Amino acid sequence: MLWSALLLVSAAQAAHILQGRPVQGLPHRSLYVRQIPESFGYSGNLYQPPQYQVPQYFDSQPFASYPYAVQPITAVVLLKGDSEVEGTLLMVQPHPPNGPVFVNGNITGLSPGKHGFHIHTYGDLRNGCTSAGPHFNPYQTNHGGPVDPYRHVGDLGNIVAGEDGVVQIQLSDHAFSLTGPLSVVGRSVVVHEMEDDLGRGGDQESLKTGNSGKRLACGIIGLAENSSPPPPPPPPAPEASE
């Protein structure tokens, strides 16, 4: 019977398997190499070239050298809605475009318990929180929790309000950034009426929204005063003419 056998090897081992041909650009990475033929009890000497794919989650930006001094980026969110729920959030990314974003703030006016807390795609609040669109999900994955390997970039899980209806928020997240292609600046944060089931509710709505219910409050993520994204790298130097 044919079976799928994947051998987990190091980059150095993979280079040896490929008859000494070096594997470019993958130092200290684990590679999956497929043995051919895939027959039980038979060991062949042909191998499919290894392939490595950067995960679609958490690696918000590739780590690379940057020609400028890195300055932290700060963003603010003012949460308001049709209900009494309101709050202020501060987002700080110390080492943009890489590394986590730290979110701090407080929200008042909530019912005690858990409430879904997400970044949504649009910063359009002309029709209230409804026009903020779905969760920010550039990779088109199913909804999940903030520590799940597959999740929406905007999935921040739940916040928990005390008996006084107040939430003190202190969290960090690696999935989104405040600059670059995964920047959430100009998008919105939404607080929901119900607990987010983190995609484990067993129905289609759970895989989209976590069954978090009504949108109670929302706010646009905007750059704070004296905060700006790092400048772009300089253009390549022109080639010398012969």
Q: What is the mean pLDDT of each run of 10 residues along the chain (242 residues)?
A: 40 43 44 45 48 41 52 96 94 93 98 98 97 97 96 98 97 96 97 98 97 98 79 64 60
143 is catalytic: yes
Residue of 115, 118, 151, 187 with catalytic role = 118
- The pTM assigned to this predicted structure is 0.68
Residues 46 and 83 in one domain: no
**pLDDT computed for residue 83 by the predictor:** 85
118 is catalytic: yes
Which residues share a beta bridge with 154? none
152 is catalytic: yes
Q: Which two tokens stand for residue 232?
A: 């772009």
109 in a structural domain: yes
**pLDDT computed for residue 219 by the predictor:** 98
**pLDDT computed for residue 226 by the predictor:** 73
Residue of 28, 124, 187, 192 with catalytic role = 192
Q: What is the C-alpha to C-alpha distance for residues 123 and 143, in angstroms, rounded to an integer? A: 20
Contact in structure between 143 and 135 (CB atoms under 8 Å): yes
Q: What is the C-alpha to C-alpha distance for residues 199 and 90, in angstroms, rounded to an integer? A: 27
**pLDDT computed for residue 63 by the predictor:** 44
Q: What is the C-alpha to C-alpha distance for residues 41 and 1, in angstroms, rounded to an integer? A: 10
65 in a structural domain: no
Contact in structure between 79 and 191 (CB atoms under 8 Å): yes
The number of folded domains in the chain is 2
Residues 101 and 169 in one domain: yes
Per-residue pLDDT of 189-234, as tens digits, reads 999 999 999 999 999 999 999 999 999 999 999 999 877 655 555 6
Residues 203 and 140 in one domain: yes
- Among candidates 38, 36, 37, 31, which has minimal Cα distance to 16? 31
**pLDDT computed for residue 70 by the predictor:** 73
**pLDDT computed for residue 191 by the predictor:** 98
35 in a structural domain: yes
Residue of 143, 151, 173, 187 with catalytic role = 143
68 in a structural domain: no
**pLDDT computed for residue 225 by the predictor:** 84
215 is catalytic: yes
196 is catalytic: no
CATH number assigned to the domain comprising residue 196: 2.60.40.200
> Residue 46 sits in which domain range?
6-51
> Taking the CB of residue 129, how many other CB atoms lie within 10 A of it?
23
**pLDDT computed for residue 69 by the predictor:** 59
Residue of 151, 152, 187, 197 with catalytic role = 152
Residue of 120, 151, 173, 196 with catalytic role = 120
DSSP assigned state of 142: P
28 is catalytic: no
152 in a structural domain: yes
**pLDDT computed for residue 233 by the predictor:** 58
The secondary structure element, H or E, covering residue 206 is helix 204-208
Burial class from Cβ neighbours inside 10 Å (0-12, 13-18, 19+) for residue 150 reads middle
Q: What is the C-alpha to C-alpha distance for residues 224 and 97, in angstroms, rounded to an integer? A: 17
238 in a structural domain: no
Residues 205 and 91 in one domain: yes
115 is catalytic: no
Q: What is the C-alpha to C-alpha distance for residues 192 and 4, in angstroms, rounded to an integer? A: 43
Residue of 115, 135, 151, 187 with catalytic role = 135
Contact in structure between 182 and 173 (CB atoms under 8 Å): no
